[in-house]
Amino acid sequence: MARICVPVCVRHIDELPDAMNAAAAAADIVELRADCLAAAEAASLWQTVGDQKRPLILTLRSPEEGGHSAIDFETRRRFWTALKSLPEGSLIDLELDLVTEFSRGDSAETLPVEWRNVICSHHDFERVPDNLPATFERMAATPAGLIKIAVHAADAIDCLPVFDLLDRAQQQGHQLIAVAMGQAGVATRILGPSRGSFLTYASYNQESGTAPGQLKAVDLRDVYRIDRIDRDTQVFGIIGNRVSHSLSPHIHNAAFAANDLNAVYIPFEVHDAVEFLRRMTHPKTRELDWDLGGLSVTAPHKSIVMQQLDWIDSACREIGACNTVVVRGDQLLGYNTDAAGFIAPLREALGTIRDTRCAVVGAGGAARACIWALTHEGADVTVFARDESSAEFLAKALGVNAEPFPASDFAGFDVVINSTPLGTQGERENESIATAEQLRGVRLAYDLVYNPSETRFLREAQTAGCHVLGGIEMLLAQAIEQFKLWTQTQPDVNVMRAAAMCKLS
């Protein structure tokens, strides 16, 4: 089983018991961050902690490496020498400068634990430094029993040096904790233990994380099934430059579990899709030894990935966008399941789409997939976009009409489709492409935004008397097609829907 360490970081010592109990309920190991406490309270923390249900790691992090207190080297040194005893089996986490100080042959000071229970740690919250292997070798040369290296990942490809360190540590017989911090480093937190990391860090709730990119422990166990991941686990994921709120990991991991597949689906924060496909995806060029089976592709990479694929289907070619990559043999195959995912719920709602008058608002990749699917069903389509030149270009490419946005009203249209981000959870959540007055007489309003499940646009449409379709329907329909392409099996649709709705709620 993977070891999950949950840090506890509270300001006042009277908060410790409840926080420690919450962490212990979610963790295999609890890290007590003494640097979070007020200085006067840190020295008496053991009297408050009492008997623990889980092994402990005691940490007093320096401010240069992410500590929460302005403590200098001398204060840190005195803190450790003043501790005469620790709960049996405890580990302590010391930065490399302190490990060097205490391991000097002429040092008269001793630590309250044996060296085998010391973690020698190094943190870089800005980047992945070029000298990482040299830093590892310096740490490996100390008497510390464990090594911890945590660096900041700006792109998912920054996980590669971290996975390389884990391979190096195993070859040399060292125990290593290796983490790429930040959303781009999430893969190291999920896959690290299966690749030799001594433990992985997680939070016990959404607010208690102590480093960027930490997942909740319950999600590591229940969503990603970290205890079942091994070197044979097939890896899938979503690539985009904003994927932390994606529902796809919840949907696909639930389906993998229901079908009893040794597979995991991971969010990859990717800014350079070409490099990700070259260095981490394509079997001929990738630098990581893993069984990567396929990818979902989201904005802004749906077009750029096509230049790296060995084969694409006709929908990809005609739409100009790929949202699904399948790794088969030594080739990358590209598909577009957005179009099929978009049209299936609409066909079910209307019965027939032929000759239906449809207004598509937006001119991006999602709009292209919608228009392509609608025209193949025989609908009469008009595209509306704030950028008139984009609307006209798209209309000409796909053989439909174009009109400037916003429209005075949508009278005369049977269906109005929002393919823009307006209404998505966040700063634009209260915006809508149309008011109730503009939507009067429209038969159905279809919003591709799925979070929140009921958008401002859908509320306006209901006020106008329209039937409505939310983006969750398209998300599920396209995910079903992806799952079948990747696994050659049929997913449990009810399980996928339940996972999506649970996360949204």
CA 26 to chain centre: 20
Which backbone phi and psi does 117 adopt, to 5 degrees? Answer: -105, 20
Instruction: Please list the residues that pair with 5 across neighbouring strands.
Output: 29, 201
- The three-point CA angle 249-504-267 to 5° equals 20
Beta carbons of 2 and 200 less than 8 angstroms apart = yes
Beta carbons of 462 and 453 less than 8 angstroms apart = no
Beta carbons of 267 and 238 less than 8 angstroms apart = yes
Q: Name the residue with tokens 């006020």.
A: 463
Residue type, 211: A
Beta carbons of 216 and 250 less than 8 angstroms apart = no
3-state per-residue secondary structure call for 245-314: CCCHHHHHHHHHHHCCCCEEEEEEECCCHHHHHHHHHCCCCCCCCCEEEEEEECCCCCCHHHHHCCEECH
The DSSP-derived string for 154-192 is: SSGGGHHHHHHHHHHHHHHT-EEEEEEESGGGHHHHHHG
Beta strands in 336-404 (DSSP E): 357-361, 380-385, 401-404
Beta carbons of 229 and 2 less than 8 angstroms apart = yes
Q: Distance between CA atoms of 262 and 290, rounded to whole angstroms?
A: 13
Choose, from 53, 84, 302, 503, the residue flagged as catalytic: 302
CA 190 to chain centre: 10
Q: 3-class DSSP state for residue 2? A: coil
H or E stretch at 236: strand 234-240
Beta carbons of 309 and 334 less than 8 angstroms apart = yes
Examine the residue annotation and report whether 302 is marked as an active-site residue of this protein. yes
Q: Which residues are catalytic?
A: 302
